[in-house]
Structure formats: C-alpha cells, structure tokens
Structure 1
C-alpha cells in the first residue's frame, strides 16, 4: 500500500510569512510577563544556586530534545557532563557518549556564542557533532553538509506499509538557495519580537529539512539561540524542549498545519509562544522550590545534622510539597540512609526535636513531614493515618 500523502509542501516565499499581530500580542505580553517573574525570582538566589538550577534545566532539556526524536539518553551521564561544563554539582558520574557530548556542545554554543552570526559552516558543525561516527543508527549518512540525495525528502510517520507522508521537503538541489534565504533573514534585523522570531525560524528550518538527519535537534537549538539573544545565560532555565516533548503530538500537528497553510502562520506562532510562556511558568515553580529550600536551611543553619540526616531532609525538600508520597517512615529512612531500624528511628526523632520535621500519626503508622507550612497533611491533628509499614 503506498503511503497516505497529505498536502505536499511547496516552497513559498518564506520571508513573506505573516501573522495577526493583535492576536499574538496578548500571548506575547503574557509570555514576557512570565519571563520577567522568572528573572525577578532568580535575583533572590545566590550564584551557586542559579548555576545548579541552570545545570538541571539544561540536562533535562538535552534528554527531552533527544526523546522527541525517539532517542533515549542517560540523564545521569548528561548531568555529570553538564556539571563539568558549568563547574557545579557532581562531576564524577558516568561519561556521556560522544554523540551526547556533541548535543551538549551545540546547545552550549547556542548560548555562549549567541551574538555570533548563524552561517552554513556553523550549522554544518552542529549537525556533524550529533553524528561523530558518520552513522545514524546503522545507516551511514552525510554529515557536515546539506543533503544531496536525488530522492525526495519525505517526512513520514507510521509503521511500514501504513506510512503517512506529512509533507515533502524541497529537493536537495534547492536546499542551498533555500538555506541562504533563511540565513539572510535570520541574521538580519527584523521587526519581530524574539519569541516570534524563534517560532518562525524553527518552522522555516524544519520545513526546509536541510540535513539527512538531525534536523529536529538542530532546529530546537535554533530556538535556544534566539532565546539566548534575549535572555543570556538565564535562557537555560526555560526548558522549551521539555515542553515540546510533553506536547509532542500537538507540536507535530501544529507544525504540519503551518507548513500546509500558506503564509499566514498565526496559529503556529500563538501556539509556540504559549509553550514558551508555560515553560517560564514551570521554571518559576522550580525557582520557588529552590527559594523554599534555601530559606529552610537558613532558618536551621544552627542545627548540627549527620550527613545521613541532611541527605534525607534534602530528599524531602527536592520532592516538593506533595512530592514524597506518604511522608517519611522509619523503614524508608532505613533504606535511604543505609542504616539500622534503631538508628533510623533515633535520627528521625532528633530531626523532629530540632523542628526540621513534624510527626503525623503514631506507632507503626508514624510518618514525618518537613516542618514547612503547607507541606504534608493540612491538619496534623485530624489527618488520616497513613497505611502501615508492614
């Protein structure tokens, strides 16, 4: 059975893309307001805390951009590589594969060299970094150059025999000219807000699909580059790839509609800016948790804790107000801390006596929660007893 083909893309005059500025303007204002809140909250954190948040956000976004393409990479290895690059956190984790280091290289280049012009050579280097062996899986591909094969580049989904062609990209012979037009536009001063420019750049690049492989990851690094020009290093905290992974079905559908809808790309721009806004709101929640953690330790800076007690308290803090289901029990503490039941019980009681934890229930149903207003059961006097620890 031949592939089911939707409307085939025909190269329009992309610099003529337009959108309804009035409709987009409201969402842009909300997105910029959300980002301003992020900036304001960051001011309440120390340099090391900001670096730690940036490292975790960068690590999660790297894993997400690969996952959108169906590639699973080890978060622990990514974290250790990012820690080494930023000089923060645990540097002693496993080494990441060369392809993953290449992905981190291009994400870093987009931020560190954000004011440098985008060129064919820079894009070639980005794509080549993703495929250091010259292979994508078991298939040898052209790296460090635009595609050259004679066959049409079709974007296809679905299993063999039931494929659906979403669109057919311009022929390989057209790619150099199409990419030159794209780069001329990208590097020029435009009247577009940078969030709009990021939306247009990503859509345009993905529609040309200039490489044999790696177009999605390179295209999302272009988003990073545009956002970094607006926000510098703090752009690392805005996990756009994570958001696109969370909304992957919508992401593909919105892009496909825009590629088939002529030059009016209002719906795509609206959708994209909304995702950036939500990413900012999610970053704001992460900063709130970090601020809460900093304030908690500041209020208990005079307390002397064992390394095991500090580890458990930090685990509860990292889990957030509702993240550690069922609270901390003696058995959980014993397992997490690698200690005996008697020591676990004694150290939990010490944490309660120092007012770091508060106790709910009694006997075998005893649970401990961080002593932070709003965390854990709302009413400790009438809270339902958690299940037994049998």
Structure 2
C-alpha cells in the first residue's frame, strides 16, 4: 500500500546551519540551567509550563493569562477566570504533566490507544455522542476560515481513512529513521493536524505530540523544550495558520513541506533565544535581590517571593509557602513583614489575596525584569 503520510523533506544547507545552531543553543541552555539557583530554575520551569498551556489554549480561543495558569497549576481556587477556561486549563495541564513525565520513560512506545488516551485527558470533560473524546471521529471535520466561518479553509480526510492513517502514523513514530528528533517532532505535528482524527481538540493534540517528541530527545527538561508559547504569540499564530493553509484545502500528502520545516526551525531557534534571555534575566534579578536582602538583613528565603513579584508581577502565599517549604504561619509572617517594610502591597482579602510591588521595592531589579529582549530570525542572521 502506498504511504499516506507526508514525506520528510531533505534539509537545505541553510536548514542544516539553523538546526546546528538550535542544537548548540539547547546544549548551552542545559549547562546554563545547571549553574543557576535551583529555586530559580524550579520557578522558571513552572512559568514555562504555564506559558505553554496558556499559549496553546489561547490559539483555540481559551484566554487565561500565564500568571493565572500558574496559580491554577498551584491549586489556587480563587482565580478570576471563567469555569470553561478553568476546565480547559486544568485538563491541558494534566495531559501536559503526563507528557512531560514520559521524557525518560523506559520501554516507551506509541500506539493508537495511547494517543486516544491523551485525547481523553484533554477532552474527556467535553465528551458527548456528537463529539466523543478518546475515539476517532465518525464524520467529517472542517477548519473554518477565521474571516468567514461559512468557508472551509481545510477539509480533513474522510472518517473511514482515519484508522489507517493513524496506524501508519504510530508505525512511523515508532521507527527511528535517523532524522533529527526536532525534525521528526515537527513532522509529527503536521501529520496529526492534517489527519484531524478527532471531532475536537486536534490543534492542541498536535502541538502536544510535538512537545512529547522534543522532550523524548532528552537534551532539555520538557518545560524548556516546547514551542507552544512561541506559537501562541499573535503574529506567530497568524503565520502558523498561514503555513498550514498553504498545504491546501484538502489532504494532499504528495507535496513538498519544506516551508513547514523552515517555520518550525525558526520557532525552535527563537524559543531557545527566548528561554535563554528569560533565564539570564531572571538570574540577574535574583542576584540583585539577594544583595538587597543581605543589605537589609532579610532572611534569604524571602528572595523567592520578591523575585516572583519582580518577574511575574505578583506572588501568592501558597506559592511562596510551597517554593520554600514553609508552614502556613511562617509564610504569612514573612509576607506580613514584607508588607510592613513596604516592599510588598497586599491585594484582595483572605484566600484570594496576592501581593504586588510595594513603594519601597528596589528599583534596579524591577527595571531589569521589565526590560524587553529581542529575537533574531535565524534565516536572516
């Protein structure tokens, strides 16, 4: 039987150069992360995981800020989001937590059952007869034009073709063909989003499958590896849809998909730049706050709370408590003392309370934390 999937394109010399730069950047990030304070890295990993969830959900129209996603991930109940957005965020978080745990799982193998189980984790709360979760769709599915929902921008393969296509995809996933894991990850995304095997949730599942393949490469912690946050930036989201749209309005796997590879290589490169810049900036903010705490005679543990406020804009008692392994009373006392010193300002009451910058918060770390960084296009460098 003839292959029904896209053929992985041969890289150009420019593609190969960019791929080598990405690999070097990922190795550098790995070593940089090992030398940074463990508490800082733990906080950055949580931020990156939340940022990926917030971005991927935003592509599908579920708008929850990264900091609110972080709070939901920490188990906070009093977060100002709709019930629907809460459900979608927590479902995606549960699935992504599982995916991230598989980065070093032994004897791992892909199967249609495994992929459907991931879909149930993502969409189980929306399961219905019309849109079953964890099962291949039973009818047609369309991606509508963002400008006119009466127009089908893409019509997926017929439902009768889905089992065969997904069987071929899992066989491909389990076969090491010597291609770079990053290229295979990009192709897995394209394969799954083009097959569109479910009635709903196809975009997030395709991005999650790509994240799984990247994390299985093992170079970086899974939270450092995802490009979902990059895809969720408005301009990149538009280009993401545009690149997919240029594949055609129906499924034609017998075409050159080099443009998709270049798009993903740009995403990998710029996401590595972004994470490296965030890590470097957070590390420098941390050092400034450590110096400030020593100068003021503050316990070094409060640097965690001050750092969260500087880089994220706020901190909650439960987050600080968990990060430092404190009792409720210890965390409350520390934050109360920081408020008394006018370093923090409380907002809200009781369970919903969080803390933001106070009038005496040191300016240098704030200025540094708020300084934007720039990204370069690797194909125009």
Q: Same fold (TM over 0.5)?
A: yes
Note if contact 1:170-1:208 (Cα within 8 Å) is conserved in structure 2.
yes
Tell which deviates more after alignment, 186-195 or 279-288: 186-195
Note if contact 2:8-2:257 (Cα within 8 Å) is conserved in structure 1.
yes
Note if contact 2:289-2:306 (Cα within 8 Å) is conserved in structure 1.
no
Describe the superposition over 1:215-251 as per-residue Cα deviations: whole angstroms up to 9, x where unpaired: 0011111111011111366230244111111101110
- Name the structure 2 match of 1:108: 97
- Name the structure 2 match of 1:274: 266
Q: Does 1:154 align with 2:142?
A: yes
Q: What does 1:126-165 align with in structure 2 at a 5 Å threshold?
A: 126-135=118-127, 140-149=130-139, 152-158=140-146, 163-165=150-152
- Structure 1 residues 337 and 77 mapped into 2: Cα distance closer, same or farther (>3 Å)? closer
Shift of 1:24: 1.9
Note if contact 2:131-2:199 (Cα within 8 Å) is conserved in structure 1.
yes
Shift of 1:53: 0.6
- Structure 1 residues 225 and 315 mapped into 2: Cα distance closer, same or farther (>3 Å)? closer
TM-score by length of 2: 0.72
- Name the structure 2 match of 1:295: 287
Note if contact 2:39-2:304 (Cα within 8 Å) is conserved in structure 1.
no
Distance 2:368 2:23 in 1: 29
Q: What does 1:307-326 align with in structure 2 at a 5 Å threshold?
A: 314=307, 317-318=310-311
- Structure 1 residues 83 and 159 mapped into 2: Cα distance closer, same or farther (>3 Å)? same
Distance 1:211 1:373 in 2: 46
Q: Secondary structure at the residue paired with 1:39?
A: helix
- Name the structure 2 match of 1:337: 345
RMSD of aligned Cα (Å): 3.6
- Structure 1 residues 98 and 92 mapped into 2: Cα distance closer, same or farther (>3 Å)? closer
Describe the superposition over 1:28-60 as per-residue Cα deviations: whole angstroms up to 9, x where unpaired: 012112212211211221322211111011011
Distance 2:91 2:370 in 1: 42
* Ranges in structure 2 where 5+ consecutive residues have no aligned partner: 314-340, 348-357, 372-381
- Name the structure 2 match of 1:7: none
Describe the superposition over 1:52-71 as per-residue Cα deviations: whole angstroms up to 9, x where unpaired: 11101101110111111112
Q: What does 1:109-258 align with in structure 2 at a 5 Å threshold?
A: 109-114=98-103, 115=105, 116-135=108-127, 140-149=130-139, 152-158=140-146, 163-231=150-218, 234-246=221-233, 247-258=236-247
Shift of 1:19: 2.9
- Name the structure 2 match of 1:44: 35
- Name the structure 1 match of 2:335: none
Q: Secondary structure at the residue paired with 1:117?
A: coil
- Name the structure 2 match of 1:363: none
- Name the structure 2 match of 1:370: 364
Shift of 1:15: 5.7
Distance 1:267 1:46 in 2: 39
Shift of 1:274: 1.0
Distance 1:24 1:370 in 2: 40
Distance 1:373 1:180 in 2: 53
Distance 1:147 1:117 in 2: 23
- Structure 1 residues 262 and 313 mapped into 2: Cα distance closer, same or farther (>3 Å)? same
Match of 2:24 among 33, 37, 49: 33
Shift of 1:73: 3.4
* Ranges in structure 1 where 5+ consecutive residues have no aligned partner: 1-10, 85-90, 321-332, 340-345, 352-356, 358-368, 378-390
Distance 2:196 2:244 in 1: 13
Q: Secondary structure at the residue paired with 1:43?
A: helix
TM-score by length of 1: 0.71
